[in-house]
Amino acid sequence: MLRELRQERNLSQSQFAKEFNVSQTTVSGWETGYREPDINTLIELAKYFGVTTDSLLGVEDCLKQK
Protein backbone atom coordinates (compact mmCIF):
# COMPACT_ATOMS: atom_id res chain seq x y z
CA MET A 1 0.00 0.00 0.00
CA LEU A 2 2.76 2.45 0.92
CA ARG A 3 4.59 1.93 -2.36
CA GLU A 4 1.44 2.62 -4.36
CA LEU A 5 0.67 5.76 -2.39
CA ARG A 6 4.24 7.02 -2.82
CA GLN A 7 4.19 6.31 -6.54
CA GLU A 8 0.85 8.10 -6.96
CA ARG A 9 2.65 11.23 -5.79
CA ASN A 10 5.51 10.56 -8.21
CA LEU A 11 8.06 10.38 -5.41
CA SER A 12 11.16 8.23 -5.47
CA GLN A 13 12.05 6.35 -2.32
CA SER A 14 14.85 8.87 -1.73
CA GLN A 15 12.53 11.85 -2.09
CA PHE A 16 9.99 10.25 0.19
CA ALA A 17 12.68 9.40 2.74
CA LYS A 18 13.67 13.08 2.90
CA GLU A 19 10.05 14.04 3.60
CA PHE A 20 10.07 11.80 6.68
CA ASN A 21 13.70 12.29 7.68
CA VAL A 22 14.57 8.60 7.30
CA SER A 23 16.92 6.72 5.00
CA GLN A 24 15.95 5.32 1.62
CA THR A 25 16.73 1.88 3.06
CA THR A 26 14.11 2.44 5.75
CA VAL A 27 11.48 3.35 3.16
CA SER A 28 12.40 0.26 1.17
CA GLY A 29 12.03 -1.83 4.32
CA TRP A 30 8.59 -0.38 5.00
CA GLU A 31 7.48 -1.11 1.45
CA THR A 32 8.72 -4.70 1.46
CA GLY A 33 7.50 -5.47 4.97
CA TYR A 34 11.02 -6.04 6.27
CA ARG A 35 10.57 -3.09 8.63
CA GLU A 36 7.56 -1.36 10.15
CA PRO A 37 7.26 2.30 11.04
CA ASP A 38 6.78 3.16 14.70
CA ILE A 39 3.29 4.24 15.76
CA ASN A 40 4.02 7.97 15.56
CA THR A 41 5.45 7.64 12.06
CA LEU A 42 2.52 5.47 11.04
CA ILE A 43 0.14 8.23 12.11
CA GLU A 44 2.16 10.84 10.21
CA LEU A 45 2.18 8.62 7.10
CA ALA A 46 -1.60 8.27 7.30
CA LYS A 47 -2.03 12.03 7.61
CA TYR A 48 0.39 12.67 4.75
CA PHE A 49 -1.51 10.40 2.39
CA GLY A 50 -4.99 11.11 3.74
CA VAL A 51 -5.69 7.48 4.57
CA THR A 52 -6.37 5.53 7.75
CA THR A 53 -3.71 3.77 9.74
CA ASP A 54 -5.77 0.60 9.26
CA SER A 55 -5.38 0.86 5.51
CA LEU A 56 -1.60 1.31 5.84
CA LEU A 57 -1.45 -1.74 8.10
CA GLY A 58 -3.57 -3.81 5.71
CA VAL A 59 -6.39 -4.26 8.22
CA GLU A 60 -9.03 -3.24 5.70
CA ASP A 61 -7.74 -5.86 3.26
CA CYS A 62 -8.00 -8.54 5.95
CA LEU A 63 -11.58 -7.55 6.74
CA LYS A 64 -12.58 -7.74 3.07
CA GLN A 65 -11.31 -11.31 2.85
CA LYS A 66 -13.57 -12.55 5.69
Q: Which domains does the chain have, with CATH numbers?
A: 2-65 (1.10.260.40)
Tens digit of each residue's pLDDT (9 = 90 or more) over 48-65: 999 999 988 888 655 455
Q: Which helix (H) or strand (E) holds 65?
A: helix 59-65
Q: Which residue has the higher pLDDT, 42 or 58?
A: 42
**pTM of model > 0.85:** no
Sign of CA dihedral 28, 37, 41, 43: positive
